[in-house]
C-alpha cells in the first residue's frame, strides 16, 4: 500500500510563550505560513494492492484439529514459491504466516479451500493497516483549538464544568506508540504494551523451517512484542517496506493521545478529557500493522487473555488496568466490499469479545473520500465509526462517507491555513524523537479520539455499558450542515453526553419467567433527574408496560426484553435487560427400589412441561459417575426407556438430569436403590 505523508505544521515548545486553552486562546510567536496543498493527500487509497502477510483461521468450536494441521492444504493453494513459514495455534484462533508478503486477493483460493474444511469456521488474510491521518507541509504560525470549543467543536469547555474525567477511566490508544516525555503527556498514561512483531526469513528452500531475523525493520525498536509502547519513530526509506514510499516519522500516536488527554492549564495544548488516563498500545510500525497484531492489541486492552490465542511471544501478562474506551485511528481500504467483509470476520469477533468485557471501540472512518463500507476496521460490527468535519461543520473532503458512518467529530479540512486542522502534542524529530512540539494534522485519525474522549467523560460519570454509551453519543450529537450520509448521527457533543438523561445501570428482572408466573423489573439508576418508564418487548412488539409483566403461552421460548427509557429525555437513550421464558419441566424416574447385581436394569424417564413437548438430553448418574445418556426427541412425547449397566452390590444414588431446551427448563430426579 502506498502512503503519502506530509509533515504537519509544528510549534516547538521553546517557541511557545503561553497558552490559555481552557479559555480557547493560543499565544505564540507567529510567522507567515508556508503554502498548503489544495487537497490533503489520502492515506488510504482504494486503488492500490492490499498486502497480506498470512492467514488468520477461526476453528469450529467442535473441531479436533489445530490450525497447524491445515498447513498442507493451504500451501497447495498459495501463489508459486510462497509457502507457510510458521503456524501459530491458539485455542480456536490461529495464524498461518507466509514466507513472503502477497496481495490479499492471491489468497482467495486458499481461503476457499480452508472454508470447505468442516473444522474451519472462517479464514481471512492477515492484512496490513495504516494510521488514518493526513498531514500538511511544514510552517509556523499561531494555532487555535477550535475542535474543542469552536462553533462546531465538541463543547469541551462546557463539559469541564461538570467533569474533566476520572483518572480511573483509561482510553487505550492503539497506534504508533507514545512519547511519554512530552510535557502535556507526563503523568497522563498508564502501562501499555508493544504488539509490533519481528520479520522472519526462510532457513531452507521449501521454507518449512523459519528463523526470525532479529532485524525488527517495522518495529524499529530492536525487539518484538514487549512491555514498552514507546514510539521510536516510524520513518522509512523508499526500500524499507514493500509497496510503501519514503516518509519521515509521524508521531501519530502521540498526536492522538494529546487530543484525548493532554494536561490542562500547563502552558501547552489541552485534551478533551484531561482528567482521564491514556493506555498506549503500539500496533503500528514503520510498515504499518498487521490485523493479527492489532487484534491482539484490542483484546489485551480490554483485559482479555492474549495467551489463549498467541503463544509464540511467551507469556503475555494480563492487563491489570483494562481500558473501557479503545481508540483505533488506523485502517485501510479494501479493494472490494467482499474483501472488507472478509476482514470483518476477525474484527467483528474481536469486537464482540472486547464489548462483552465492557469496552467501547472507536475507529476512524478513513481518509480515502470513498464509500465507508470499504474501510477496515471501522466498517466492521462492534466499532463506532467516526467521520471528520471541518470548522464549518461540513464533512471534510477526504473523509469517507455513506452506510455505516455512526458519528462525526472535528478532523480538519486538510487544506487552507493551519488553524483549519487539529492541534495536538507532537515531536520535531524527523526520524528519532527530537524536540517535543505541537503540530497540526487533519484526518479521521484526529476525529476518532474526540469521540473516544467524549466516551471517556461519559464513563467518568457512570455511563459504562458500551451499548448505552454508544446510544448516548449518537443521541446527543449535534446536526450541522453535514447530513446522515456524511456524518451519521452528527457531530459529537461532550457537554451533551454529560447533561443527557442517561442510565448508569440496567433494569433488574426478578420473578418467575414462565407462563402463569409474574416478572418484576426495576428502572435502574439514571442521571440528571430522569423520569423513567418501563416497557416489555417480545421481539419488536411491545407486550406490556410498567414494573411487572405476566408471561403467556405465546412467550414460551422467546426472549422478553424490559426497556427503561426516560419519559422526559431522548427516546433513543435506553437501557434494557432480558430473560427467556420457558415452560417448567418435571422429571419422573420409574425404577424399582431393589435390583439384582447380575442384571441390567431398564428404567423409564418421563419429562412433562405445560403447553410444549420436552426435547433435549437425559443423563443418568450413579453418584458422580455418568452411566447413561439418551436424547429426548419430540416424537418420544416426553418419555424414554434407558437400559442401565449392572450395579454393584450395595446402595446406589441414581440421579437423572434433564438438560432442558430453548422452551423448557432443566430438571432432575434422584432415587436411592439397592443392588443385591
471: part of which helix (H) or strand (E)?
A: helix 466-475
Half-sphere exposure (CA, 13 Å, Cβ side) for 384? Answer: 32
Task: Find out whether 455 and 336 touch, Cβ atoms under 8 Å.
Answer: no
As given in the structure block, the three cell numbers for residue 159 are 463539559
Please give the Cα distance from 629 to 621 (Å, whole number): 9
State the CB neighbour count (10 A cutoff) for residue 650: 9
> Parallel, antiparallel, or unpaired: how do β-strands 93-103 and 289-290 relate?
unpaired
Backbone angles phi, psi at 180, to 5 degrees: -70, -10
Please give the Cα distance from 498 to 509 (Å, whole number): 27
- Spatial CB neighbours of 329, under 8 Å, sequence gap ≥ 6: 131, 132, 133, 173, 175, 252, 256, 363, 364, 443, 444, 445, 446, 448, 449
- Spatial CB neighbours of 77, under 8 Å, sequence gap ≥ 6: 109, 110, 112, 113
Q: Is cis: bond before 345, omega within 30 of 0?
A: no
Q: SS3 breakdown of the chain: % helix, strand, coil, rounded to 5?
A: 20, 30, 50
What is the Cα 638 distance to its own chain's centre? Answer: 44
Q: How far is CA 149 from CA 261, 447, 504, in A?
A: 15, 14, 27
Task: Find out whether 424 and 111 touch, Cβ atoms under 8 Å.
Answer: no
459: part of which helix (H) or strand (E)?
A: helix 444-460
Radius of gyration over alpha carbons of the chain, in Å?
29
Grid-cell match 482521564, residue found: 276
503: buried, middle or exposed (CB in 10 Å: 19+, 13-18, 0-12)?
buried
619: part of which helix (H) or strand (E)?
A: strand 616-622
Please give the Cα distance from 548 to 407 (Å, whole number): 36
**Catalytic amino acids?**
175, 252, 445
Q: How far is CA 545 from CA 246, 425, 517, 529, in A?
A: 63, 51, 16, 21
- Spatial CB neighbours of 142, under 8 Å, sequence gap ≥ 6: 26, 27, 28, 30, 419
Beta partners for residue 548, in sequence order: 520
Beta partners for residue 672, in sequence order: 653
As given in the structure block, the three cell numbers for residue 465 are 455499558
Helix axes 444-460, 466-475, angle to 10 degrees: 110
Beta partners for residue 666, in sequence order: none
Q: What is the DSSP letter of 92?
A: S
End-to-end CA distance of the chain: 79
- Spatial CB neighbours of 365, under 8 Å, sequence gap ≥ 6: 132, 331, 372, 375, 378, 385, 386, 387, 388, 399, 400, 401, 405, 444, 447
Could you give the residue ranges of the DSSP H alpha helices within 33-155?
71-75, 108-115, 146-149
Please give the Cα distance from 354 to 56 (Å, whole number): 18
State the CB neighbour count (10 A cutoff) for residue 13: 19
Grid-cell match 434422584, residue found: 670
Amino acid at each position: 500500500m502506498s502512503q503519502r505523508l506530509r509533515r504537519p505544521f509544528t510549534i516547538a515548545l521553546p517557541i511557545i510563550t503561553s497558552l490559555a486553552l481552557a479559555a480557547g486562546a493560543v499565544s505564540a510567536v507567529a510567522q507567515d505560513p508556508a503554502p498548503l496543498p489544495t487537497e490533503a493527500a489520502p492515506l488510504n487509497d482504494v486503488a492500490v494492492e492490499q498486502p497480506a502477510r498470512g492467514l488468520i483461521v477461526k476453528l469450529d468450536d467442535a473441531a479436533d484439529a489445530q490450525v497447524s494441521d491445515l498447513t498442507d492444504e493451504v500451501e497447495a493453494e498459495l501463489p508459486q514459491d510462497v509457502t507457510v513459514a510458521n503456524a501459530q495455534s491458539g485455542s480456536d484462533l490461529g495464524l498461518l504466516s507466509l514466507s513472503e508478503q502477497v496481495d490479499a486477493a492471491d489468497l482467495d483460493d486458499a481461503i476457499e479451500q480452508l472454508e470447505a474444511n468442516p473444522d474451519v469456521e472462517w479464514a481471512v488474510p492477515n492484512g496490513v493497516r495504516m494510521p488514518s491521518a493526513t498531514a500538511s507541509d511544514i510552517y509556523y504560525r499561531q494555532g487555535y483549538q477550535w475542535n474543542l470549543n469552536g462553533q462546531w467543536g465538541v463543547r469541551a469547555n462546557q463539559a469541564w464544568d461538570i467533569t474533566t474525567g476520572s483518572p480511573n477511566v483509561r482510553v487505550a490508544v492503539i497506534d504508533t506508540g507514545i512519547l511519554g516525555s512530552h510535557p502535556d503527556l507526563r503523568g497522563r498514561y498508564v502501562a501499555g504494551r508493544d504488539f509490533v512483531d519481528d520479520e522472519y526469513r526462510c532457513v531452507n528452500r521449501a521454507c518449512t523451517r523459519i528463523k526470525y531475523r532479529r532485524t525488527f525493520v517495522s518495529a524499529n525498536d530492536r525487539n518484538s512484542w514487549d512491555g514498552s509502547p514507546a514510539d521510536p519513530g516510524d520513518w522509512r526509506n523508499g526500500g524499507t517496506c514493500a509497496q510503501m514510499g519514503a516518509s519521515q516519522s509521524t508521531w501519530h500516536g502521540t498526536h492522538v493521545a494529546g487530543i484525548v488527554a493532554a494536561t490542562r492549564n500547563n502552558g501547552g495544548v489541552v485534551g478533551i478529557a484531561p482528567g482521564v488516563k491514556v493506555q498506549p498500545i503500539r500496533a503500528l510500525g514503520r510498515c504499518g500493522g498487521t490485523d493479527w497484531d492489532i487484534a491482539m492489541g484490542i483484546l489485551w486492552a480490554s483485559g482479555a487473555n492474549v495467551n489463549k490465542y498467541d503463544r509464540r511471544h511467551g507469556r503475555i501478562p494480563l492487563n491489570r488496568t483494562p481500558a473501557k474506551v479503545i481508540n483505533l485511528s488506523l485502517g485501510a481500504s479494501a479493494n472490494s466490499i467482499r474483501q472488507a467483509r472478509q476482514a470483518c470476520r476477525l474484527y467483528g469477533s474481536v469486537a464482540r469479545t472486547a464489548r462483552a468485557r465492557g469496552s467501547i471501540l472507536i475507529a476512524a472512518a478513513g481518509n480515502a473520500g470513498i464509500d465507508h463500507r470499504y474501510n477496515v476496521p471501522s466498517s466492521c460490527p462492534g466499532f463506532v465509526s467516526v467521520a471528520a468535519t471541518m470548522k464549518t461543520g461540513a464533512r471534510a473532503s477526504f473523509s469517507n462517507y455513506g452506510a455505516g458512518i455512526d458519528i462525526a467529530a472535528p478532523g480538519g479540512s486538510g487544506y487552507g491555513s493551519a488553524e483549519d486542522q487539529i492541534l495536538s502534542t507532537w515531536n520535531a524529530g524527523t526520524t528519532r524523537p527530537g524536540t517535543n512540539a505541537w503540530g497540526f494534522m487533519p484526518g479521521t485519525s484526529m476525529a476518532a479520539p474526540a469521540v473516544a474522549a467524549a466516551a471517556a467523560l461519559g464513563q467518568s460519570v457512570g455511563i459504562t455499558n458500551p451499548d448505552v454509551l454508544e446510544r448516548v453519543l449518537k443521541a446527543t450529537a449535534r446536526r450541522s450542515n453535514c447530513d446522515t450520509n456524511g456524518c451519521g448521527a452528527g457531530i459529537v457533543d461532550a457537554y451533551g453526553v454529560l447533561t443527557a438523561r442517561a442510565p448508569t445501570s440496567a433494569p433488574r428482572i426478578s420473578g418467575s419467567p414462565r407462563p402463569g408466573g409474574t416478572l418484576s423489573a426495576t428502572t435502574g439508576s439514571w442521571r440528571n433527574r430522569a423520569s423513567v418508564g418501563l416497557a416489555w418487548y417480545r421481539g419488536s412488539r411491545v407486550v406490556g408496560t410498567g414494573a411487572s409483566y405476566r408471561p403467556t403461552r405465546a412467550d414460551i421460548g422467546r426472549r422478553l426484553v424490559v426497556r427503561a427509557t426516560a419519559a422526559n429525555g431522548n427516546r433513543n437513550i435506553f437501557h434494557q435487560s432480558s430473560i427467556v421464558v420457558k415452560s417448567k419441566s418435571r422429571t419422573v424416574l420409574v425404577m424399582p427400589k431393589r435390583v439384582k447385581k447380575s442384571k441390567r436394569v431398564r428404567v423409564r424417564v418421563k419429562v412433562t412441561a405445560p403447553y410444549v413437548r420436552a426435547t433435549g438430553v437425559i443423563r443418568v448418574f450413579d453418584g458422580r459417575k455418568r452411566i447413561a445418556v439418551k436424547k429426548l426427541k419430540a416424537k418420544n412425547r416426553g418419555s424414554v426407556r434407558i437400559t442401565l449397566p449392572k450395579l454393584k452390590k450395595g446402595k446406589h444414588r441414581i440421579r437423572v438430569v434433564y438438560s432442558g431446551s430453548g422452551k423448557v427448563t432443566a430438571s432432575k430426579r434422584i432415587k436411592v436403590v439397592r443392588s443385591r
